[in-house]
Structure 1
Amino acid sequence: MRHFEDFRVGDVHELGSRRITEAEIRSFARQYDPQPVHLGRSAQPLIASGWHVAAVFMRLYVDAVISGSAAEVSPGLGELHWLHPVRPGDLLSGRATVLSTTPSLTRADCGVVRQRGELADASGRPVMRLLFYGLMRKRDHDPVITPEVRPDTLRA
């Protein structure tokens, strides 16, 4: 189990890859982003919704990093850029690079890991880049007992 202390600036997490199919592009578009270009109803070639591409990144990140970590929640994104269109048959590979680690200002038992995420196509060309934050639990945190935190309210 990876905790906050195990994330180091410069660490690169390879996330694996996923091939994007025409069926999933259309299915995602029907459910969440029904624009003609994502449904194959425009003069332009079919392309995946950027939100679909972001969801693919998230799935790869959860499988490769979150599932083996003491992750809490994400306090958000700093940036999200779709750099090139994703088309049916594209093989996307992901990576996440740790940019900084900072103790949480609101949760003494956690720290914030700031990372740059990227998906690239088979030629290595980035198709999406984002800056995101994850809240990770610290390994050996002993809560401070204060009037606001009574022993009878602490959970095991």
Structure 2
Amino acid sequence: MQYFEDIEVGSKTQFGRYEVTRDEVIEFARKFDPQPFHLSDEAAAQTYFGRIAASGWHTASISMSMIVAHLETTKQAGLGGLGIDDLRWWKPVYPGDTLRCEIEILEKTESRSKPDRGTYRSRLSVFNQDGEKVMSYVNTALIRRRPTEG
């Protein structure tokens, strides 16, 4: 189990692999972000994207699925997220792209009022198969401290 004490400021971890499909890009867009450039080749051709592109919110959702899978593997004593800052979509994500994640630990703080927990801030970066950053944000998370004997 990974606790607050195990988190090292400055450490970086790479994980995940997710291939984006055209069908899921369109399905997500129909439900949650029905802008024409997410739904139609013709409409997308007339935009900056040039072809159907995934919604940024779809990219964020994909990254969350990779994060959860990673947390299950590492068995982190997490208590949930407290929020994100500085969300940026750097490049479009297209059907056929394969995404991966990298997390860098920026800082950690012991709770002053609840000694059984702490928080940490990390930067999540999502990259495509060419190593190009497509999305990033800074996350603040709550995590348990290692239980003490006694």
Q: TM-score range by the shorter chain?
A: 0.7 to 0.9
Identity %: 35
For residues 107 and 28 of structure 1, the distance between their equivalents in structure 2, rounded to whole angstroms, comes to 40
Counting matched residue pairs gives: 142
Greater radius of gyration (CA) = 1
Q: Is the 8 Å Cα contact of residues 13 and 65 (structure 1) preserved in structure 2?
A: no
1:133 pairs with one of 117, 134, 140: 140
User: 2:48 matched to which residue of 1?
Assistant: none
Gaps of 5+ in 1: 143-156
User: Match for residue 46 of structure 1?
Assistant: 52
Q: Secondary structure at the match of 1:73?
A: strand
**Partner residue of 2:114?**
107
Contact kept, 8 Å, 1:71 with 1:136, in 2: the verdict is: yes
Alpha-carbon distance in structure 2 between the residues aligned to 1:124 and 1:105: 40
Q: CA deviation at 1:106?
A: 4.7
User: CA RMSD of the aligned region, Å?
Assistant: 1.6
For the residue of structure 1 that corresponds to 2:103, the secondary structure is strand
Matched, 1:27 2:27: yes
Shift of 1:105: 4.3
Q: Deviations over 1:92-123 (max 9, x none)?
A: 11111111111134533211110000111111
Secondary structure, aligned partner of 2:96: coil
Distance (whole Å) between structure 2 residues aligned to residue 82 and residue 140 of structure 1? 39
Following TM superposition, the consecutive aligned residue runs of length 4 or more in structure 1 with deviations greater than 6 angstroms are: none
For residues 31 and 76 of structure 1, the distance between their equivalents in structure 2, rounded to whole angstroms, comes to 24
Cα contact 1:47–1:85 (8 A) shared by 2: yes
Q: CA deviation at 1:60?
A: 0.8
> 1:1-156 to 2 correspondence within 5 Å?
1-40=1-40, 42-44=43-45, 45-65=51-71, 68-140=75-147
In structure 2, the gaps of 5 or more residues are 46-50
